[in-house]
Amino acid sequence: MTITEEIIDHAKGLGFRPVGIAPADPFTETRAAAQARLKAGHLDGMGWYTPARVERGTRPAWLLKDARSIIALALPYYVGKFPVGDARPGAPHGVVSRYAWGRDYHNVLRKKLRSLVALLESKHGSARFFADTGPILDRAAAFRAGVGWYGKSTMILTEEQGTWVFLAEVITDLPLAYTKPLKKSCGSCTRCIDACPTDAIVAPYQVDARRCIAYLTIENRGGIPRELRPKLGTRVFGCDICQDVCPVNRYPSADASEDFLPRPGVGPSIPLIPLLKITEEEFRSRFQGTPLMRAKRQGLRRNAIVALGNAGDATAVPVLRHVLLDDNEDAMLREHAAWALGRFSDVAAQAALRQSWELALPAEVRAEVALALHDEHRRCEGEGQDLHTGAHSVDESPLGTSL
């Protein structure tokens, strides 16, 4: 058995498939593409994604002295179909992206990658692993090594598992036998582009992260743009739409590691009202060791508010009212709560908005309350109804004075 065969065998034994090996040459074209995307502002909001990071990440020799080979790896995470989000009966539920149903993949990958590095070191090679958080562009390495091909959604598609794989790589100074890039493409399909609810796939192979629900619900530390909120539906962590519609993803085998099976308290669906009420302590004990930690408590609560506004279940009104009226709450969350309440034509929701108008609200919250009341006013006028809130008549509302 050659060293290359031994490495591939070992990687497969660890659960990686497919496994490819590429020369560790600089990723010149990738560098240009990534720098252009940064320049266009498509990665704005992720302060850690810098031009310097792209420079480093596209020069394997800067990451490992005398780098010769990149072992590109895919770890499947498809574990089958489960009832998701708003498909659940009863109290409103939020949808969690498939990749986050189980254990944090970074921890799962790390252990496996260490084992591969140990094998390479036993062959007198130096080796260094990367998975997601490193500067190297995982998809570019996977593409070069023939692990998969680029979809128009920018996802790497693999033959067996479609897009349902995590990507990682090990760079080594050992000379190995290389595998070749695949000669496959999406052809005339545009399903992911057509299905993306926020039009985030601005052109084939280009995602504007600022519009992508994955960014908005996970990486984003600020508010969610008002015009995009209705498009999030009940998604509270990530988004799988461009993957769910992809024909290449039709028949993945559901034999991924048990680590990715839905974990109690997380999984495909989260009840939204308790999520909005979660304390910092509860947040940690429930989500420690899962990808959801990345969104932080405030981010998940913000997402839950938007999802509740979209779910349209009136049982959410008291908890949204509580956030809006609570002086100790973050202004960003109060502003989102005002927006969510404005989605209900429910009397109690309108009463909460009118009650808040009497308080000394932060400017952005007041502006959203005004918009929410204005929207409701228009809705009722359209339907030829009165608001019947009991608190004010339409004529007495703040609408006349502030808008």
- Which residues form the interface with ligand SF4 (CB under 6 A)? 151-153, 186, 189-192, 196, 198, 200-201, 207, 212-214, 239, 241-242, 245-248
User: Which of left, alpha, beta for 77 (phi over 0: left; psi -120 to 50: alpha)?
Assistant: alpha
Contact flag: residue 242 with ligand B12 (CB under 6 A):
yes
Choice between 190 and 315, CB closer to ligand B12: 190
Nearest to 295 by CA among 362, 376, 219: 219
Inter-residue long-range contacts of 42-51, CB under 8 Å, 24+ positions, other chains counted: 42/202, 42/206, 42/207, 42/208, 42/209, 42/210, 43/209, 44/209, 44/210, 45/209, 45/210, 45/215, 45/219, 45/220, 45/221, 45/222, 46/209, 46/215, 46/219
User: Of these partners, ligand B12, ligand SF4, none, which one is at the site of residue 37 (CB under 5 to 8 Å by kind)?
Assistant: ligand B12
Identified binder of ligand B12 from the candidate list 104, 173, 219, 368, rule CB under 6 A: 219
Contact flag: residue 166 with ligand B12 (CB under 6 A):
yes
Query: Does residue 115 contact residue 10 with C-beta atoms inside 8 Å?
Result: yes
User: Of these partners, ligand B12, ligand SF4, none, which one is at the site of residue 137 (CB under 5 to 8 Å by kind)?
Assistant: ligand B12
Smallest distance, ligand SF4 to C-beta of residue 105, A:
17
Query: Does residue 70 contact residue 134 with C-beta atoms inside 8 Å?
Result: no
Identified binder of ligand B12 from the candidate list 10, 18, 79, 97, rule CB under 6 A: 97
Report the residue number whose CB is nearest to ligand SF4.
Answer: 151
- Strand duo 235-237 + 93-96: pairing: parallel
Contact flag: residue 290 with ligand B12 (CB under 6 A):
no
Cα 249 to Cα 96, 130, 139, distances in angstroms: 18, 25, 17
Q: How far apart are CA 281 and CA 368, in angstroms?
A: 30
Smallest distance, ligand B12 to C-beta of residue 191, A:
13
20 bridge partner residues: 72
Smallest distance, ligand SF4 to C-beta of residue 248, A:
5
Smallest distance, ligand B12 to C-beta of residue 115, A:
18
Identified binder of ligand B12 from the candidate list 19, 34, 64, 236, rule CB under 6 A: 34
Instruction: Give CA torsion, residues 138, 139, 143, 145, to 10 deg.
Output: 10
In angstroms, how far is the first alpha carbon of the chain from the final one?
76
User: Of these partners, ligand SF4, ligand B12, none, which one is at the site of residue 300 (CB under 5 to 8 Å by kind)?
Assistant: none
Identified binder of ligand B12 from the candidate list 10, 17, 37, 112, rule CB under 6 A: 37
The catalytic residue among 44, 66, 132, 194 is 132
| Helix or strand run (H / E) with residue 57 | helix 51-57
Tokens of 366: 């007041």
Query: Does residue 141 contact residue 193 with C-beta atoms inside 8 Å?
Result: no
Question: Is 240 tagged catalytic?
Answer: no
Contact flag: residue 19 with ligand B12 (CB under 6 A):
no
Nearest to 135 by CA among 71, 62, 72, 207: 62
Choice between 193 and 323, CB closer to ligand B12: 193
Binding mask 54-93 for ligand B12 (x = CB under 6 A): ----------------------------------------
**Where does this chain bind ligand B12 (CB under 6 A)?**
30, 33-34, 37, 49, 97, 99, 131-132, 134, 137-140, 150, 153-156, 163, 165-167, 205, 207, 209, 212, 214-215, 219, 238-240, 242
Cite the active site residues: 132
